[in-house]
Amino acid sequence: MLLLLTGTLIVVLRAPSVIYVGVDSKVIAVGASISSTATQPKMHTLDGVVFAHAGIFKDLHGKLDAVAAANQAIAAGGDLDAIVERFGDRVQPELQVVLPEIKAENPAYFNAKMTQPLVMLFASARDGTPRVAAISFDLVPGSMELAVKVVRCPGDCDARVTNAMSLGEHDAADRFLDHYSQSDLVKDPVGAIRRTIDYQAIATPDFVSLPATIMQVTAGGISAVP
What per-residue confidence (pLDDT) applies to 5?
Answer: 72
Is a pLDDT exceeding 90 seen at residue 211?
A: yes
Tell me the residue range of the domain where 73 lies: 3-214
Instruction: Flag whether 57 is in a domain.
Output: yes
The residues near 40 (Cβ < 8 Å, ≥ 6 apart) are 4, 27
Q: pLDDT of 61-90, one tens digit each? A: 889 999 999 999 999 999 999 999 999 999
Whether residue 226 is contained in a domain is answered as: no
Checking if the pLDDT of 192 tops 60, the result is yes
Backbone torsions φ then ψ of 9, nearest 5 degrees: -110, 125
Helix, strand, or coil (residue 194): helix
pLDDT for 1 beyond 70: no
pLDDT per residue over 142-168, tens digit each? 899 999 999 999 999 988 889 999 999
pLDDT at 127: 87
Q: Do the domain assignments include residue 223?
A: no
Q: What is the dihedral of CA 8, 13, 19, 24, to 10 degrees?
A: -20
Mean pLDDT of the chain: 92
How much is the average pLDDT of 213-224? 96
Tell me what pLDDT residue 31 has.
81
pLDDT of 34: 82
pLDDT confidence of residue 6: 66
| Within-domain flag for 7 | yes
Rg (the chain; Cα; Å): 17
- State the pLDDT confidence band at 19, using cuts at 50, 70 and 90: very high
At 187, which CATH number? Answer: 3.60.20.10
Domain tally for the chain? 1
Q: Confirm whether 152 is domain-assigned.
A: yes
| pLDDT at 216 > cutoff 80 | yes
Q: Is residue 222 part of a domain?
A: no
Give the amino acid at 76.
A
Question: Which of 4, 43, 1 shows the shortest CA–CA distance to 197?
Answer: 43
Q: What pLDDT was estimated at residue 217? A: 97
Q: Quick check: is 145 in a domain?
A: yes
Q: Who contacts 102 (Cβ-Cβ below 8 Å, separation ≥6)?
A: 3, 30, 56, 109, 110, 114
- Kindly state whether residue 43 falls inside one of the protein's structural domains: yes
pLDDT at 170 over 90: yes
Note the pLDDT of residue 131.
Answer: 95
Measure the N-to-C terminal CA separation of the chain; round to a whole number of Å: 37
Count Cα atoms within 13 angstroms, Cβ side, for 105.
14
Please count the CA atoms within 13 angstroms of the CA of 207 that sit on its side-chain side: 22
Alpha helices (H) along 6-79: 66-75
CA distance 215 to 96: 31
* Cβ count within 10 A of residue 142: 6
